[in-house]
Amino acid sequence: MLSLIILILLFLPLQAQTLVQCSVSVDGARPFKLQSIYPNRKVYLHAAPLARQMGWSIVDRPDSNSILLEGKSLRDVVRLKGDTYVSAEAVASAFGYRFSERGEGLVVDYVTGGSGAAPSRLSLRVGKVEKLTSPNAEYYQVKVAALVKNPGAEVLVLNSRQFYVVDHNKAKVYCSGAFEVTLKPGEEVRVEGLFFDVPKRSTLKILGLEGRDGKLLASANL
């Protein structure tokens, strides 16, 4: 009898983590399908395909208790059979969406305008990355060229020190140069000469761009 109870207790968590196809929509656009799980009546979305669909960068280390989406750290994750699933509600909070789910995790709707952080305002692409030697033997220097697009209706002025890189340990290193770039509405500008002094043991994962208030504007995988 005791062995039967133990088997039931072991089997219940597996039932709660059965993979299903979830329909995800953003601002009423055509929905896309993602694998999801529904443990404890809470929906978790397959993180890597979600990032691809949303155009977000992702850093997911198997030995970490969190992931980075667009430079934002999300800790409410579940790892199952080598894949990572992130809480749909946590995603909404991080990116400023209102969130609702229906059908026991089968439908997730995101609507812009929640109470979380504002979504990224700019488009950022990595153009070229060069690894250079550094006067400091324990560091190397990285030179990055990036493409930044301003989709808004206002002129933006960026300082090079608003750019940073994130390594495999989630450590941030800001640009060591100092210059400004002006982006007119709808304009895409190639930003050259972004230099970062990085410890030799580091493996860079993300190029990020934050506002003068410290909030994320955009990020891209390196």
Dump pLDDT digits (tens) for 112-165: 754 444 434 688 999 899 999 988 889 999 999 999 988 877 788 888 888 999
| Arithmetic mean of pLDDT over the chain | 83
Can you say whether residue 95 is alpha, beta or left, with left for phi > 0 and alpha for psi between -120 and 50 degrees? alpha
Would strands 20-26 and 107-112 be described as parallel, antiparallel, or unpaired?
parallel
CA-wise closest residue to 150 among 184, 190, 174: 184
How many Cβ atoms sit within 10 Å of the Cβ of residue 92? 21
Residue 48, C-beta contacts closer than 8 angstroms, at least 6 positions apart:
58, 60, 83, 84
- Reduced to 3 states, what is the DSSP secondary structure of residue 10? helix
User: Is residue 3 scored above 60 in pLDDT?
Assistant: no
What mean pLDDT comes out for the span 69-81?
90
Model confidence, pTM:
0.49
Q: Domains along the chain?
A: 2-112 (no CATH), 123-221 (2.60.40.1240)
Of all residues in the chain, what percent carry a pLDDT higher than 70? 87
User: Is residue 174 scored above 70 in pLDDT?
Assistant: yes
What mean pLDDT comes out for the span 85-112?
85
| Between residues 4 and 166, the one the model is more confident about | 166
**CA–CA gap between residue 102 and residue 34 (Å, rounded):** 15
